[in-house]
Amino acid sequence: MKYRIASRTGEDAGRELMALAEDAGSAGCRLFANCKQPLLHWGRRLTAGGVFLLAAWLAFGVVAGPNGWLAYRGKVIENQKLLRQIDQLQKENDQLEESVKKFKNDPQTIEREAREHFRWVKPGEIVYLRPEKKSPPPPPPANPTAEKQ
């Protein structure tokens, strides 16, 4: 395609310029019409790949991130353990409070504890103690060379 500079002036010059512009535009469309499809095709592929990578990155963050589902499950399990421990300690605390009340208000409890733990006796009482059972001696070693060491 040849391009030429219009040398005319007036109304014919405008028509000639318009005709040349249309020819140039159609030539550009023909020139880029063949290249347009592959560019759009690769652009779509790149966009789809980018969207997929973004979705995968977000999914990984939701599942394995510092505040993701796995961290949440770990916190739930830790919370359940702590609640069980709190319940157990509350029961133990209630038992200890009950025993404190008994020690403050019940003289028989105080006497029983003094006799059992401190082996106190009242004046004039005779205490009979049974001998404690002795544990059996440990078995001899199976290997006779172990005795020489």
The answer as to whether 5 is a domain residue is: no
Phi, psi of 32 (to 5 degrees): -95, -5
Residues 16-47: tens digit of each pLDDT: 666 666 666 555 555 555 555 666 677 888 89
Q: What pTM, to 2 d.p., does this model score?
A: 0.46
Co-location of 77 and 115 in the same domain: yes
Co-location of 57 and 93 in the same domain: no
Number of folded domains in the chain? 2
Residue found under tokens 């404690």: 132
* Full residue range of the structural domain in which residue 74 is found: 66-121
What's the helix, strand, coil split of the chain in %, to 5?
70, 0, 30
Q: What token pair was written down for 129?
A: 């103690």
Confidence of residue 149 (pLDDT cuts 50, 70, 90): low
Residues 124-148: tens digit of each pLDDT: 888 887 888 887 777 877 776 655 5
Co-location of 50 and 86 in the same domain: no
* Total residues belonging to the chain: 149
